[in-house]
Structure 1
Amino acid sequence: MKKVDLKQIFELVFRQCVFIIVNIYALSKIFGGQFYMKGKLPIEVASTTLEEASSFSLAWTFMGHSYSYILFVGITQLIGAWFLLWNKKKLLGVLILIPIMINIIIFDIIFLDVYPALVNAIIVFLMLLLILFFNKEKIIEVIQGLTNFPIKSKVLIKRRLITFGITLLVIVLIFTFDSFIEQWLGASKEKILE
């Protein structure tokens, strides 16, 4: 008789639970059911001044103001959730969903006083972490492959230092140019306003 692999069963259950929960939230975003959409504010929210508005009302109105942003988040959630269904793509799905869930958790803690949504986001996040934990060998292998650079000679070290120096110089030049353009555009904007 074959031994039952509980780790595999739990991982599959977590993947399916996250898939269902994330799809519900993603589709509610895409179809306009999660935030106060522009032009469809509840009367009590629309008649409240910014100073009197609750954190929840401000956050929900702000998030609902841009359908393009909502669409981006919803589609990204759907992509991550659907990747969980395929064994070879599941870790990519987890890596897509973890930053989204961290953002949702932080957003809920800072702006919202709706604790069931926060608890739900934390549970989804924990299931994603458990999926990673169940695949720790693969993740360790990938991390080692990405970070295990053999240093064979002093010439190689010297070449890396030169490359690092040139890269750093280019980054400084790009940021300097960017700051100059921002200042120049900002200064020309001020002249127009005067």
Structure 2
Amino acid sequence: MKNVSLKKIIRIAKYLAIFYLSIGMIALAIPKLLEMQFRVDHYQAFIPLAELPKSTHMWSFFGRSYVYNLFIGLTELSIGILIIFKRTRLIGLLISLGVCLNIFIINIQFDMIYEVVRHISIDLFLTLILLIEYRKDLYQFFIGLGGKLNGEVIKANSGIWKKLRIAYVIFFPVAYFIFSFVVISMFDYNLIGSYEIKNTQIENGNITFDKGSIGTTPMLFFERNDLVVLSVNDSIHYGWYEIEEEHLRMNFRPSKNH
């Protein structure tokens, strides 16, 4: 009797979780389809990028493309529908896992902790709980059968091809990591950044700069890949720089008005 009652409670809790997740996904999808989400106040569109909070930056970025919102909205809508039906529930849960993980990381990294606590962590947790029921089938299909439906368990091949694949998986990521690390080690991160020009002297003579086309003051920007940008006198100038011992050399391409 106790086992029967426990099974009924688990079954009810399971369907409550399914409908909670479905309602949440549909409620997130419809506003995207109607351009109700990712709206930014007009005045914020004129705030310099560096002065925007991370959450507003992310919000405005996603709001730039209706097609992207349409894609995400239809994806969330499909999740809300697919998980209701037993035959399509696994497909919906697998899509939900990818979507929820993506939103979870985005919200954390863009300082939207309130959204993490409010709904996405719950949706992610429910998706993982509901997927537990399929754990053996998922392992058998994706690992045991390698994604095939012919019922034949995949066995590891022997020979040179197997060794080449193992070598590739081990050495290529490591080699590319080393290559990338060498590339970024060439950048001087103590120099890279944004600088306000306070005073400029050439041969003991002062030069006065007015604000450029970027920001509200004369600015100098050192970027990666040796790019330097000078923003002065309502203009912007692009060039490149190099460091030789204690000397910094900058060269700028000619601009139209200077």
TM (norm. structure 2) is 0.54
Report the structure, 1 or 2, having the larger helix content: 1
Contact 1:98–1:128 (Cα < 8 Å) also in 2: yes
Shift of 1:71: 0.7
Shift of 1:45: 1.0
Equivalents in 2 of 1:110, 1:150: separation in Å? 41
Report the structure, 1 or 2, having the larger strand content: 2
RMSD, aligned CA:
2.9
Task: Provide Cα deviations, 1:122-148, integer angstroms capped at 9, x if missing partner.
Answer: 110000000011333433443454244
- Alignment match, 2:105: 106
Equivalents in 2 of 1:162, 1:98: separation in Å? 33
SS of corresponding position for 2:78: helix
Moved over 4 A (4+): 158-165
User: For residue 23 of structure 2, what is the amino acid of its counterpart?
Assistant: I
Structure exhibiting the larger radius of gyration computed from Cα positions: 2
TM (norm. structure 1) is 0.70
SS of corresponding position for 1:3: helix
- Alignment match, 2:241: none
Shift of 1:158: 4.5
SS of corresponding position for 1:108: helix
- Alignment match, 1:80: 79
Task: Provide Cα deviations, 1:41-82, integer angstroms capped at 9, x if missing partner.
Answer: 413312322121111111111000011111111111111221
User: For residue 157 of structure 1, what is the amino acid of its counterpart?
Assistant: S
Contact 1:26–1:78 (Cα < 8 Å) also in 2: yes
Contact 1:11–1:130 (Cα < 8 Å) also in 2: no
Contact 1:59–1:112 (Cα < 8 Å) also in 2: no
Identity of aligned residues (%): 23
Alignment pair present for 1:17 and 2:20: yes
How many residue pairs end up in the alignment?
A: 160
Alignment pair present for 1:42 and 2:35: no
- Alignment match, 1:122: 121
Once the two structures are superposed, the pairs formed by residues 1-194 of structure 1 within 5 Å of their partners are: 3-4=4-5, 5=7, 6-36=9-39, 41-113=40-112, 115-119=113-117, 120-147=119-146, 148-150=153-155, 157-158=158-159, 161=162
SS of corresponding position for 2:87: coil
